[in-house]
A and B are shown apart, each in its own frame.
Chain A
Amino acid sequence: MSVMQKCVMIRRTANAIPINYYQRTWCSTKAAAPTDEFRVLNLKKKFVPPQSKKKYTKTLLLPPRETAMPVDQDWTNVWPGPKTFHPASVPLALRQGYDQKRAPPGKYGNAELMKIPNFLHLTPPAVKKHCSAIKKFCTEWPKGLETDEDFDKHFPMTIITTDYCHSSPTIKDPKARIVTIKVKLSAFDLDKHARDKMIRLVGERYDEETDILTIVTDRCPTRKQNYDYGIYVLTALYHESNTFEEWEKEKQEADMEHYIWDNNVSKKAYVALVEWPKKVSDDDVKSFSIENDLVGQKYKDAVTELLNNGEDTYTLNKYKEAVVGMLLPQNAQA
Chain B
Amino acid sequence: MFADTLSKVLPCRSTYLIFSRLKHVQAARYKRSIKGNKPLTYEMAGPPHTIAHIKGWNSWNTCNMLDGLRPAETAIDDEFIRRFIIGTWHDLIASEIIIKRQHNIIRIAAITVQKISVTKMYFLIGYTEELLSYWLQCPIKLELQTVEDRSAVVFKYI
Contacts and interface: CB of A to CB of B under 8 A. Distances in A.
Contact of B114 (A61, A105, A166, A175): A61
Contact of A114 (B67, B98, B101): B98
Nearest to B41: A111
B100 A84 contact: yes
Interface in B111-146: 111, 114-115, 117-118, 136-138, 143, 145
Given A112-B55, A114-B145, A168 B67 contact: no
Contacts of A61: 114
Interface in A48-84: 56, 58-59, 61, 82-84
B158 interface: no
Contacts of A331: none
A59 B118 contact: yes
Interface string B58-81: 101111000111100010000000
B102 A82 contact: yes
A166 B68 contact: yes
A108 B147 contact: yes
A170 interface: yes
A82 B152 CA distance: 26
Nearest to A170: B69
Interface in B70-108: 70, 74, 94-96, 98, 100-104, 107
A108 B149 CA distance: 12
A230 interface: no
Q: Looking at chain A's contact residues, is the secondary structure mostly helix, strand, loop, or mixed?
A: loop
Contact of B101 (A56, A105, A168, A175): A168
Interface in B38-62: 41-43, 54-58, 60-62
A31 interface: no
B54 A97 contact: yes
Contact of A84 (B57, B61, B109, B118): B109
B155 interface: yes
A105 B109 contact: no
Interface of B: 41-43, 54-58, 60-63, 67-70, 74, 94-96, 98, 100-104, 107, 109-111, 114-115, 117-118, 136-138, 143, 145, 147, 152-153, 155
Interface of A: 56, 58-59, 61, 82-84, 86-87, 97-99, 105, 108-112, 114-117, 165-171, 173, 175
